[in-house]
Structure 1
Amino acid sequence: MPSQTATYQIEKGVARVQGSRKYQEDEYAIEDAELNSENPLALYMVFDGHGSGAYSSHAAKTFASVLKSTEAWKAGKIDKALREAFLEEDRRMEEQVAQGKGVERGGTTATVAVLVGKQLYVANVGDSRSVVAQRQGVNANGTAMYNVVRLSKDHKVTDPTEAKRLDEADATVRRDRVISTGHAINMSRALGDFDFKEPRNNAPGDWISPEPHISAITIDASHEFLILASDGLWGVLDEYALIPAVSELRSQNKSAQEIAQVFAEKCGAVPGADNTTVLALFFKWQ
């Protein structure tokens, strides 16, 4: 891994609520012990399971080690390593099912943020999001203004690129859902969901793809905070409402943990609330 000078620390907070669901199927994982080392490195991950919590749990336990075992990771090619890790994690999940060790149905979104020095990489499948807030000064009222940057992509069947891919794979899509025998899913990419993938779907391509969307940016002192969260949050607040609200709480000296808790609990109190996981990361620039 290339050596880079750390110029920031991270204050982190994470909160989960079950909402109105029978089970908690969200999981998260954090590996940031090396953040302040000679080769600063941190991993932050959110997984939103559906159909079963087995897939999100599997990813939370194994994804980091899968990522770090790739040759691309060892060569410092982070974007390539992320792609390889998503596909390998999916393959390992399928192998477990084939061996009778996993659950047949279900899957998980995956949103993974990797910090290597000042480089921030985000890879995702599904509809859990990652957004970063970049300070743009203050307005005439003294209120902080931000450039809101979404680093993930919502993989929905209504997206033109996804709709085209699904059509070419002969997928059945109705009411914004991909249909398989006996059930349906409202996203077009995920880990797991093998009855929507070759060869079980008897189609020319995967309907639910494990291929991640990957983005990368260089961060600096204008980047104040990064939020990763499952769709339990984004179904209630989009990033344009969330970022100013987070900034307001920060101005009241709320900690990252308090802020994560506020929004998780707020979303968990909505009637019919989904599982919600909020991971808040504040950059403390030196």
Structure 2
Amino acid sequence: MLSSLQAFYGVYDGHGGRAAVDFVSDHLGKNVVAAVLATTTEEALEAEPSSWSTTDAVSAAIRAAYLATDSELVKQGLRGGSCAATALVKDGDIYVANLGDCRAVMCRDGVATAVTSDHTAAREDERSRIESSGGYVSCGSNGVWRVQDCLAVSRAFGDADLKRWVISEPEIRRLPLTAGCEFLVLASDGLWNKVSNQEAVDAVSRSSAGRDSTGCCKELVDMARCRGSRDDITVMVVDLKRFMI
């Protein structure tokens, strides 16, 4: 927590063992909060900073925290990697960032909107980026595209042996929290491979009355499991109404 109207949330999904995801879950939030607080302090010392410069500075701080976390992870020599989707609520805005195929979906007036775009080798722009840097992307018999015949995600923390192509540069979106914003669903691909964005939002909307967010998350996990998901499933539901000023 940063303050009563500011908070940080994150969902992480590891591959190639637990070491990388455990490191990221322990360090990323701390790094983001520290970077944003430092940015806020610097802005406060400047005369009449514009809202645009402040917004750009917060996004830059989040980006720097992601890259710093990845650098720290790689230096540890740990195996594997981790995807992430995070949300920083600050001063009436929400900054959503992601690496890999963890996804953030916002419910606004009952309608689901994906506020992240999955970083997979199937994305044409990601394939172009990888190929232009000397790598290659292949599609196996199961229809899954992979970087260097190995990894399905094209951005992640860690994966040191693929770092030339599997980068840790996050995509970041800033959205104002307006009256129609209800909640945010952060989840790993174990959910999204079986449950659509709108289905997830509808399920939370139905079950939220008289039930806390933990119950809503459990229902989404059960839904994915019943549909055959055998992947790890991590789900978080963030009530956005509590941050309305």
TM over 0.5, yes or no?
Answer: yes
The question of 1:49 aligning with 2:14 is answered yes
> Superposition pairs for residues 81-120 of structure 1, below 5 Å?
81-97=61-77, 102-103=78-79, 106-120=80-94
Cα distance change, pair 73–188 in 1 and its aligned pair in 2 (3 A): farther
- Normalized against structure 1, the TM-score is what? 0.73
Pairwise CA distance, 1:188: 0.5
> Superposition pairs for residues 22-37 of structure 1, below 5 Å?
32=1, 34-36=2-4
- Normalized against structure 2, the TM-score is what? 0.85
Contact 1:229 1:278 in 2 (8 A): yes
Cα distance change, pair 50–265 in 1 and its aligned pair in 2 (3 A): same
Q: Provide the identity percentage.
A: 27
Q: Which residue of 2 aligns with 1:211?
A: 169
Paired amino acid for 1:157: A
> Superposition pairs for residues 179-218 of structure 1, below 5 Å?
179=148, 184-197=150-163, 206-218=164-176
Contact 1:229 1:279 in 2 (8 A): yes
> What do the CA deviations read for 1:219-257 (whole angstroms, capped 9, x no partner)?
12211111101111101112122112221223x433222
Q: Secondary structure at the match of 1:58?
A: helix
How far apart, in 1, do the equivalents of 2:60 and 2:238 lie?
24
For residue 233 of structure 1, the aligned residue among 154, 170, 191 is 191
Q: Which fold has the larger relative contact order, with Cα–Cα distance below 8 Å and residues 6 or more apart in sequence?
A: 1
What count of residue pairs does the alignment treat as equivalent? 223
> What do the CA deviations read for 1:179-227 (whole angstroms, capped 9, x no partner)?
26xxx11010000011112xxxxxxxx2101000100100122111111
Contact 1:72 1:80 in 2 (8 A): no
Contact 1:268 1:275 in 2 (8 A): no
Q: Secondary structure at the match of 1:109?
A: strand
> Superposition pairs for residues 253-272 of structure 1, below 5 Å?
253-271=210-228
Contact 1:130 1:226 in 2 (8 A): yes
Contact 2:111 2:201 in 1 (8 A): no
Structure 1: 5+ residue runs without aligned partners? 1-31, 136-145, 198-205
Q: Secondary structure at the match of 2:148?
A: strand
How far apart, in 2, do the equivalents of 1:185 and 1:218 lie?
34
Contact 1:49 1:56 in 2 (8 A): yes
Pairwise CA distance, 1:148: 2.2
Q: Which residue of 1 aligns with 2:232?
A: 275
Q: Secondary structure at the match of 2:234?
A: strand
Q: Which residue of 2 aligns with 1:171?
A: 135
How far apart, in 1, do the equivalents of 2:181 and 2:146 lie?
36
How far apart, in 1, do the equivalents of 2:135 and 2:41 lie?
37
Higher-strand-fraction structure: 1
CA RMSD of aligned residues (A): 1.8
How far apart, in 2, do the equivalents of 1:208 and 1:159 lie?
13
> Superposition pairs for residues 128-143 of structure 1, below 5 Å?
128-135=102-109
